[in-house]
Structure 1
Amino acid sequence: MSASVRTVLFVLGIMVASISLAMLIPAFMDMNAGAMDSASAFFWSSAVGGFLGMAVALGVRTEDRNLTTRSAFLVTAGSWLVLAIFAALPMRFGGHELGWTDALFEAISGLTTTGATVVTGLDARPPGFLMWRAILQWIGGIGIIVTAMAIWPMLGVGGMQLFRLESSDSSSEKVLPRAAEIATAISLIYLALTLICAMAYAATGMNGFDAMAHAMTTVATGGYSTRDASMGAFTEGGADYVAMVFMLMAALPFAAYLMLVRGHPAALWRDPQVQGFFTLVVAAIVAMSVFVVAADLYAPEAGIRAAAFNTISVITGTGYATADFGVWGAPATAAFFVLMFAGGCAGSTTCSVKIFRYQIAILAIRQHVVSLAHPRAITPLRYGGRPVSPETVYSVLGFLFAFIAIFTLSAAILGAIGLDTTTALSGAAATLANVGPGLGDIIGPSGTFQPLPDAAKWVMSANMLIGRLEVLTVLILFTPRFWQS
């Protein structure tokens, strides 16, 4: 067995053992609440996962833990799938009436921070089960930041090489050491934001359990809630205002937070993707607020509040809801469908296409138009004051094409399975963009994905993994040249 294969298995083994250890938290919570079936499932799932994970890690341990490019892709793609399988065990066997399809769907949705759910009756569920869903999203949130900041930039995935941190080695042979350094730094920032968010929620009247669970899913922009009414159950205390602030904070690049801590506060506001993100958010909120108030759906203050919250939630891919915006009318439905494809900044916990790719694509189109009008003119492409290489442009455009192609294909498959047009289109968009709820009566903000046929759930599960892993990370695994020596 080669050293690179050993490294892949070692990393996956450690990850499985770590998530199995995390299962002890909900296990003790459910045991304390008297939910013994759920507690027992968490305990034995923890034991099985911990044993298998450590057995693999110890069995393949090696002093040479460098990653080749191929191995880095395998670790990135394999980790989410393997972790989801083990995370689904206590959901499947904990007496929660979830079959394998639903348990895996819920686990994948949690780890990918999508927030689409097949679980109903959340208000009556055991606390450990609800906390486990929050923990999965919190783990997925920090995991995606590490890969977006440390691994994808070095592998040139989807234009992420634009955000290679200073002093990072361009060689993928040093991916793991660099990732470890970055993970240590951003983990503290991520944890601090989570604790501050929890305290802010508690100040609005949430109990400690709800405050911590929602803080974890807010900072992860995941959207899992402990209540069927989602964030709508806590609007009287003003929790939705807290959620808006932290959803926006989580949508910003964590690399800029690192610069902020190091005494460079201007780095955040000078970032063109941050500027573009806030421009989109403000414009969308204003437009949606004007629409709902003009349509007499709400009084002015309530309309602005509902429009702002749900718009931010959809753009950031968090998936919380305070209202069923599916009944706001066709213009609002169309607007929310388009906003699903926005996303936040690179290196954040958000999902979807992300702002910088639209900016690069627009700059590339403008450069091409100028070159057509003035063939001899030299028009270098620059982004944030830095030159953009042709390889980066190709990577961005390749991502956009692949994203649109997969969305179109998955929507067509969902339609062929028997879903209505609204459910098929919004379901494909919501899962590929990792937004959470879709549109329509079935999977809209007031519904769940539970009524869908199993075949549709498998398609959407694949979409969630592909979307969360920046599309190309998964597609490259299906190319023959990737596996050639």
Structure 2
Amino acid sequence: MTIDRIRFVLFLNGLFLWPLATMMLVPAIVDLADYNYGDARNFAISAVITGAVGALLVLAFREKHFDVTDRRTGFLITVSAWLLAVFFGCIPLLGSSQHIGFTDAMFESVSALTTTGSTILVGLDNMPRGLLLWRSLLQWLGGVGIIVMALSFLPALRVGGMQLFQSESSDISGKPFPKISQMVRAILFVYLSLTLACVIAMMFAGMPAFDAINHAMATIATGGLSTKDASIGYYRSVPIEVVTEIFMVAGALPLGSYAVFLVNRGKKPFVDDQVKAFLIVLATAIGLCTIWNISQGMIPREALRVSAFNVTSIITDTGFATSDFSTWGSFAVGLFFMLYLIGGCAGSTAGSIKIFRWQILFAGVIRGLKSMLYPNSVMRVRYQGSAVDEAVVSNVRNFFFVYIVTLFVLSMLVMATGVDFLSATSAVAQGMANAGPGLGPLVGPSTNFSAIPELAKWWIMAAMILGRLELMTFYVMLIPAFWRR
């Protein structure tokens, strides 16, 4: 590992801290408007500290020319920028009037920036508006941040099939966006447009303006942190639930596909194979859950309503809730646990394994079965009508293996702290999927993560970060060869 590479990484980390510092001034202004001078001062001080550290890094490691933008640099920048943002994101929480401890502040910051949506805070309904807005801003920045990071650094990295989807999208390549800068601008335009549309729709549905802004950022980022303890269930409104469902799905679709669709003025289809597969899985899961709830005595209309919302929330990895689905019976609990492992489309704000990897894995299994019948034939895994490179298929298989092993190990570590089996495994599964609520008695939709041991919170934080970084981006840094010159 060369000194130039480390200097370049630290320089970019300094640049990344400036937008974070600037965003801290927004809740400071909100608290000032509410005459909450203590929290406003806390956000202002936090902004100064974050901005100053960023300036020091930039000034200390600035060079006229850097020529170290290789694969290892990309990995280092991605991991270090996320970890740095998580640490500085928790500073306003530490100094707030809510007296949040370091572990809980870090948990809330990690959950927000990774767009997981798990929370340890109680009494959200009466908390200062600046603090609530900061949580929403963190998850909104985290939702677009991972995509912009991927657009900037990850296309050249052969991680879990990422090269199949240039810049985390299966249909962004070639002429529509010949330059990365154009691609980033298009993604940001779509992200901002969806957020604004969601704010307006939620206000028309009857949600107050402040709540609409916060929930819109959480919805498009598929983050799920709410301004209410009861989440979306607080409003008891069908229009609000329908609007939220629509935009949760919108956030789980490839943001790049929106951009390409707009650039081509609708000439290129928006719905590709992974979008079709995602919508089919979503509809099937809603149908199965509805039928199950009806069989358990729920009124059909209510069964469809609660099933549609909560299934959509979990499969898109958003994490909003309108009811405690962990009490719906064993089949529903098993279904929701499986949904943790599916996720949205590549290039979306959703987390988890993602639909395209499942498609490639199943295509590989079918090819394996056919080769047993025709051992001398040459067969290729195909996706969207094109042959998939064998390296991609291998990377996807490796990703699945690492994902399951990580889930198993972290679950055991959480259970070692005294957490029951269902709470531990579902907490880790939702953390890796960045999905929000768990399924057990300690971490279910009707509770939060405040009651679990402190050490367990750190293991779950690790699950959130690993899931958001898609595992391999972090694990490759553990190989000794990574640090050699």
The two structures have a TM-score, normalised by structure 1, of 0.95
> Does 1:392 find its partner at 2:399?
no
Judge conservation of contact 1:151–1:179 (CA < 8 Å) in 2: no
For residues 267-282 of structure 1, the aligned pairs below 5 Å read: 267-282=268-283
Judge conservation of contact 1:149–1:255 (CA < 8 Å) in 2: no
- 1:174 is matched with none
Amino acid at match of 1:328: W
In the TM superposition, what is the alpha-carbon distance from 1:63 to its structure 2 partner? Answer: 3.3
In the TM superposition, what is the alpha-carbon distance from 1:95 to its structure 2 partner? Answer: 2.0
- 2:83 is matched with 81
In the TM superposition, what is the alpha-carbon distance from 1:267 to its structure 2 partner? Answer: 4.5
Judge conservation of contact 1:431–1:461 (CA < 8 Å) in 2: yes
For residues 324-335 of structure 1, the aligned pairs below 5 Å read: 324-335=324-335
Please identify, of 437-446 and 149-158, the stretch whose mean Cα deviation from structure 2 is larger: 149-158
Q: CA 1:223–1:266 in 2, change beyond 3 Å: closer, same or farther?
A: farther
Judge conservation of contact 1:221–1:316 (CA < 8 Å) in 2: yes
- 2:221 is matched with 220
For residues 148-167 of structure 1, the aligned pairs below 5 Å read: 148-164=150-166, 165-167=172-174
For 2:344 and 2:337, the matched residues in 1 are separated by 16
- 2:122 is matched with 120
For 1:235 and 1:425, the matched residues in 2 are separated by 30
Amino acid at match of 1:229: A
For 1:138 and 1:178, the matched residues in 2 are separated by 25
For 1:268 and 1:46, the matched residues in 2 are separated by 44
For 1:257 and 1:361, the matched residues in 2 are separated by 26
Amino acid at match of 1:166: S
Aligned residues, how many?
476
Query: In angstroms, what is the RMSD of aligned CA positions?
Result: 1.6
- 2:40 is matched with 39
Judge conservation of contact 1:137–1:220 (CA < 8 Å) in 2: yes
Amino acid at match of 1:74: L
For 2:76 and 2:152, the matched residues in 1 are separated by 15
Judge conservation of contact 1:3–1:64 (CA < 8 Å) in 2: no
In the TM superposition, what is the alpha-carbon distance from 1:428 to its structure 2 partner? Answer: 1.1
Judge conservation of contact 1:150–1:182 (CA < 8 Å) in 2: no
Amino acid at match of 2:300: P
In the TM superposition, what is the alpha-carbon distance from 1:237 to its structure 2 partner? Answer: 5.7
Amino acid at match of 1:197: C
For residues 41-440 of structure 1, the aligned pairs below 5 Å read: 41-66=42-67, 67-164=69-166, 165-167=172-174, 179-236=180-237, 238-263=239-264, 265=266, 267-297=268-298, 299-440=299-440
Judge conservation of contact 2:74–2:154 (CA < 8 Å) in 1: no
For 1:288 and 1:383, the matched residues in 2 are separated by 29
In the TM superposition, what is the alpha-carbon distance from 1:401 to its structure 2 partner? Answer: 0.5
Amino acid at match of 1:321: A
Q: CA 1:98–1:387 in 2, change beyond 3 Å: closer, same or farther?
A: same
Amino acid at match of 2:383: Y
In the TM superposition, what is the alpha-carbon distance from 1:2 to its structure 2 partner? Answer: 4.1
Q: SS of the residue aligned with 1:440?
A: coil
For 2:388 and 2:341, the matched residues in 1 are separated by 23
Please identify, of 92-101 and 197-206, the stretch whose mean Cα deviation from structure 2 is larger: 92-101
Amino acid at match of 2:432: L
Amino acid at match of 1:454: E
Q: CA 1:35–1:353 in 2, change beyond 3 Å: closer, same or farther?
A: same
Q: CA 1:22–1:224 in 2, change beyond 3 Å: closer, same or farther?
A: same
Q: SS of the residue aligned with 1:443?
A: coil
Q: SS of the residue aligned with 1:344?
A: coil
Unaligned runs of 5+ in 1: 169-176
* Runs of at least 4 residues off by over 4 Å: 266-270
Judge conservation of contact 1:269–1:275 (CA < 8 Å) in 2: no
Amino acid at match of 2:424: A
Judge conservation of contact 1:268–1:274 (CA < 8 Å) in 2: no
In the TM superposition, what is the alpha-carbon distance from 1:307 to its structure 2 partner? Answer: 0.3
In the TM superposition, what is the alpha-carbon distance from 1:162 to its structure 2 partner? Answer: 0.8
Judge conservation of contact 1:142–1:349 (CA < 8 Å) in 2: yes
Amino acid at match of 2:31: D
For 1:210 and 1:200, the matched residues in 2 are separated by 12
In the TM superposition, what is the alpha-carbon distance from 1:136 to its structure 2 partner? Answer: 0.3
For 1:330 and 1:264, the matched residues in 2 are separated by 47
Same amino acid, percent of matched pairs:
38
Amino acid at match of 1:251: A
In the TM superposition, what is the alpha-carbon distance from 1:236 to its structure 2 partner? Answer: 2.1
For 2:276 and 2:66, the matched residues in 1 are separated by 39
Q: CA 1:96–1:19 in 2, change beyond 3 Å: closer, same or farther?
A: same
In the TM superposition, what is the alpha-carbon distance from 1:74 to its structure 2 partner? Answer: 0.6
Q: CA 1:380–1:264 in 2, change beyond 3 Å: closer, same or farther?
A: farther
Q: SS of the residue aligned with 2:435?
A: coil
For 2:381 and 2:292, the matched residues in 1 are separated by 37
For 1:122 and 1:404, the matched residues in 2 are separated by 34
- 1:457 is matched with 457
Q: SS of the residue aligned with 2:90?
A: helix
The two structures have a TM-score, normalised by structure 2, of 0.95
For 1:201 and 1:406, the matched residues in 2 are separated by 38
Judge conservation of contact 1:257–1:268 (CA < 8 Å) in 2: no
In the TM superposition, what is the alpha-carbon distance from 1:150 to its structure 2 partner? Answer: 4.5
Judge conservation of contact 2:11–2:58 (CA < 8 Å) in 1: yes
For 1:346 and 1:39, the matched residues in 2 are separated by 38
For 1:446 and 1:30, the matched residues in 2 are separated by 29
Amino acid at match of 1:344: G
For 2:287 and 2:100, the matched residues in 1 are separated by 41
In the TM superposition, what is the alpha-carbon distance from 1:61 to its structure 2 partner? Answer: 1.9
